[in-house]
Amino acid sequence: SAATISSQVRLRLLPRARCMFDEPVQVKARRQVVTMRARTTDDKGLVFSSSATYKADGSGEIDLERGSYAGVEPMGLLWSMRADTLHNRFIKTNSLNHHVVNFSVHEKAGEGRMLAEATNERLLIGDRVNRHPIKGAYPGPFPALLDLYTFGGGLSEKRASLLANRGFVVLTVALYGHDDMARNIKEVHLDYFEEAIEFFKKQDKVSVGVLSFSKTGDVALSIASYLPGVEATVGINGCCANTVLPFYHKKSQILPALMMDISKIVPTESGAFMCKNGMHNLLSEENKATLVPIKQAKGRFLFVASEDDLNWDSKAYMDQTVERLQRHGKDNFERVSYPAAGHYLEPPYGPYCPSSFHAFGAAEVHLWRKIQEFFRTHLSCDATQTKARL
């Protein structure tokens, strides 16, 4: 787990140098004061890096738990990695491509001479997980998840493969296949997702859940509201109205689109845009038809909102959804919000989106556990008895 360049320094990765993407790792070295660095490359070839200065404890050991992130997030070197240019999101789409992080120890001053280095191989797909295109029948019982990645950006297997490692059978679909296609889309069809749900329901003894994020949040609410058999739905920073594109089922429009007022989008000096107040008022009379009829959904919901989301007003949308459910006497939901988190909430210990605020990674760590607990509780199969499949 270490390559020592200086005889005075040894860099150790504990409990091992090879681990799963969503597992923490301890990074330790012996020297009074050092600069520790982390570096990785994403699937598009973009380099992400981070650094921090650490002081040794009384025994002369450097431990990331007592560094710049002490008391909050010892994995700070991992989640704080970013590209040299602003607003680049870490892209890891294929689960067969491991997340390889190079840790290095340097002398304190300036760039500093490198004293030791070690490589941390962080796996997205474990030895017990099978990855293949869907076909045929799969013997149950098993808990099945439809993982809806965000709008555009193609297909990502990261979240799906990590959940498969935890015992779920996961089918991951992009809202639309790639960026060019997303730019030319005029409408969204429920039939596309209905086919995926029907595939699961044809299997023996299967319970079905849906996991979503951002724009796919309103798609997930629609799936749970219009299609039977969805037992549990997680919506992360989504909207309670159908947004941007009209929604169709069997060639008929079922929901018009809540649109954005471009004049309310605020540019920042860094080149990012704050869209939080950009959507039209979904509670106004002319927009009420865009609201997803969530009262007719039979399953359970976990609503997740970041209070510092500047993409749109996720916390208000969550509160409005809960209020509507309560007004109809429903208690089939849980909710969680993160005061210091931004729009992107992904599995923990990867470089976060630099255009989102994160609560030192703590929100992602907490949410990742919460998602798994929620699905295990409300999907009627024992995930631990199933060989995972992706």
- Give catalytic residues, as residue numbers: 214, 309, 343
The DSSP element (H or E) to which 368 belongs, if any, is helix 362-378
Inter-CA distances, 282 with 141, 263, 286, Å: 40, 17, 8
Residue found under tokens 């990331």: 64
Task: Judge contact between 152 and 45, C-beta under 8 A.
Answer: no
* Cα dihedral 213, 218, 221, 227 in deg (nearest 10): -110
User: Over the range 149-181, which residues count as b (16 or more CB within 10 Å of their CB) and which as e?
Assistant: bbbbbbbbbbbbbbbbbbbbbbbbbbbbeeeee
d(CA 235, CA 227): 16
Q: Across-strand partners of 101?
A: 120
**Cα-flanking dihedrals φ and ψ of residue 359, to 5°?**
-80, 65
For the beta carbon of residue 326, count every other beta carbon within 10 angstroms: 11
222 within 8 A of 239, measured Cβ to Cβ: no
Helix 216-226 to helix 190-201 angle (10° resolution) is: 60
**Helix and strand counts by DSSP (H, E) for the chain:** 7, 20
Place of tokens 């724009």: 215
